[in-house]
Structure 1
Amino acid sequence: MRYIDAFCHFFPQPLWDRLLTLEGAGKGMGSRMRGVPAIFDLDERFRVMDLFRNHDYTQVISLGMPPLEAMGTPAVSRELAVLANDGLAELVRAHPDRFVGFLASLPMNDPEAAAAEAERALRQLGANGLQIHSNINGLPLDDPRFLPIFEVAARHDRPIMLHPSRGNEVTDYITEEKSKYEIWWTFGWPYETSVAMARLVFGGVIDRVPGLKVLAHHLGAMVPYFEGRVGPGWDQLGKRTTDEDLSGVLAGLKRRPIEYFKDFYADSAVFGSRAATVCGLEFYGPDRVLFASDCPFDPERGPGYIRDTIRVLESIEMPDEARQKINWRNAESFFGLTPR
């Protein structure tokens, strides 16, 4: 069985070298990522991938955290985006048997430049999609300044890959100064993704950009498990709110809220959880789920999530056609990959 890993992360060497010179977020990223060599060391990445040769395993690569817009000024983010996208494009050209495509990253703290870089990456570099995070330095994705970026993606028929972004500065309790026990990651990231999906829906972005394709990382985050709240719950939008009139929101949508959420795509990167995989597949169906591992952030620093995700999917009974769609066929059509 062939596998195309739709959401996994790598830093090309020119970008990696530049990141290590940065203060703040870049410096913190470097100190952590040095302990995960498969995210920047190409030989180590190939060693990990070679463990899955019998699975005909290839990757669509994208940058790891943090977002470029968190790395510095708009000028710094613009510089990093060019290094990132040129570097990822070169890796795809040099190693097509390993990397079948890449996702462009954008200087989202300069929306005009981000739209221009998206155009360049898709038109000139052959990017297969755009990686955008769940908030832009605290701004929601339905902020009008970001609309041209979504329009670029739709015009080129390339997807937005939605990645969560949240740090411990977002507290769990208003009486505290920071999130504890990495709650900001374990529960905060799925919440972040779900919030971003909701803002794209209720903020009207999905309606205003026909043909926009958005994939929500980690199997749609909270949405499949909370189907009842997203469905019948949001059908009553405004009934629970007394300090704001929300009566016009549902009337302004073209469909029920849950129908929009069903139109998102999702990936199988749920850290080897069979229960989450079954739930997500039940909600989205085989036509909208893509195989992904989130490599190399497992405890083994590379192969663990790939192996566990394959194992979970193989343990679930489904028709061969559905299995092929999830494992590689959906990725080919979703990213516009050249069939082989």
Structure 2
Amino acid sequence: MSDVASASGSTRVVDVHAHAVLEVSLGAAGAAGPELGVAEDGTPFYRVGEYVLRGVRYRGSPFMDVDVRLAAMDAAGIDVQLLSPNPLTYFGRLDADAAIGFARTHNDALAELVGKHPDRLLGSAQLPMQDVPAAIAELRRSVRDLGLRAAYIDTDPAGRTLDDPALDPLYEALVELDVPLFVHPTPLGEQGPPDDVRLRRFDLDLLFGFARDETLAVAALVCGGVLERHPGLDVCISHGGGAAAFLAGRLARAVEVRPWASKALRENGFAHYYRQLWFDTHVHDAGSLDLLVSHAGTERLVFGTNFAGWDSGASDGPGALAPTLAANAARLLRLP
């Protein structure tokens, strides 16, 4: 395939926001799971540590059955998907050795899966972020030995903000390996459910909670100087970067007048660095997408769906931006 054309000659549709649940990963974190089962009342559940997700049927769905996934991709007109770890299984608070073992098991299995469908599926690596040197080693192994195309982490990996200097060696490795970093929140709190009890209602952990964490990620990357220190780093943030586009004016004003802004940030402005970030278009609203475009531009937007999730945007398609999103995805994922 060319950069932007599918086998049929039409614009290739690349979905960068599609999670996978791998059978071999079940129990790979020891007592923390993950565990997949069915309750006595017939309700399916998925347990990660003390957290139990109920009512989501993973087995037999695109999350776990690749044939079902490919058929659903065909039905949605999606040519290629980047598969990523389940945000429930970052295991940022797990013992480092257990987290390393889980990441290796997950990445080996994901590489095997996508390797069987190289024209349709790509993979992004799980990293044991509580041990940065181990995360770098696993990143190198995943890219060089397994052929995975990206890394995938939380907005506050293992309790660190994204501008923590301890993460600079990881960013350097990403630039050296020439692979992008994808950032996606987890809904989990310290003990499983969201720490803020207000987020435990109306799916607000997935709605407002995710948007909050994505906005904090943008602030850390831009205001915390990550993009100053690593100008070659490509970072893609889920769901349009949360509420950052809505707050762009206030963030820009703060950069102009508040004492914490670095000299480079003050001189170049918030928008300069904000527009160096990548964002997926999974926002569910034309007005929201217009706002994102007005502040972030279109040069670093990519199509994302949360494929097969409760809020999947697969049926919406990339719309009028399709050629732009396809070309952008080819650049971001270094597609041939």
Band the TM-score falls in, shorter-chain normalisation: 0.7 to 0.9
Is 1:3–2:18 an aligned residue pair? no
Is 1:62–2:98 an aligned residue pair? no
The residue number in structure 1 matching 2:194 is: 169
TM-score normalized with structure 2 length: 0.82
Structure with higher helix content:
1
Distance in 1 between residues matched to 2:73 and 2:50, nearest whole Å: 28
**Amino acid paired to 1:12:** L
Shift of 1:283: 2.3
1:112 aligned residue (133, 136, 145)? 133
Root mean square deviation, CA, Å: 2.5
Deviations along 1:68-110, one digit per CA (max 9) or x if unpaired, are 23473211111111111111211221012321x2111100111
**Amino acid paired to 1:306:** A
The residue number in structure 1 matching 2:272 is: 259
**Amino acid paired to 2:225:** G
In terms of mean alpha carbon deviation, does 62-71 or 183-192 score higher? 62-71
The residue number in structure 2 matching 1:319 is: none
Are the structure 2 counterparts of residues 88 and 82 from structure 1 closer, same or farther at C-alpha, using a change threshold of 3 Å? same
Query: Does the residue aligned with 1:158 lie in a helix, a strand or coil?
Result: coil
Query: Paired residues, what number?
Result: 307
The equivalences for 1:25-44 within 5 A come to 25-26=48-49, 28=51, 33-35=56-58, 37-44=61-68
Distance in 1 between residues matched to 2:260 and 2:16, nearest whole Å: 38
Contact 1:105 1:130 in 2 (8 A): yes
Distance in 2 between residues matched to 1:79 and 1:32, nearest whole Å: 28
Distance in 1 between residues matched to 2:26 and 2:331, nearest whole Å: 31
> Which structure 2 segments of 5+ residues have no match?
1-10, 34-46
Shift of 1:235: 2.0
Distance in 2 between residues matched to 1:96 and 1:262, nearest whole Å: 31
The equivalences for 1:56-205 within 5 A come to 57-70=79-92, 72-99=94-121, 101-167=122-188, 168-171=193-196, 179-205=200-226
Query: Does the residue aligned with 1:307 lie in a helix, a strand or coil?
Result: coil
Distance in 2 between residues matched to 1:49 and 1:196, nearest whole Å: 30
Identity %: 25
Distance in 1 between residues matched to 2:194 and 2:214, nearest whole Å: 17
2:236 aligned residue (212, 215, 225)? 215
Are the structure 2 counterparts of residues 226 and 288 from structure 1 closer, same or farther at C-alpha, using a change threshold of 3 Å? same
The residue number in structure 1 matching 2:329 is: 331
2:25 aligned residue (6, 9, 15)? 15
Distance in 1 between residues matched to 2:273 and 2:78, nearest whole Å: 34
Deviations along 1:198-219, one digit per CA (max 9) or x if unpaired, are 1122222221223011111111
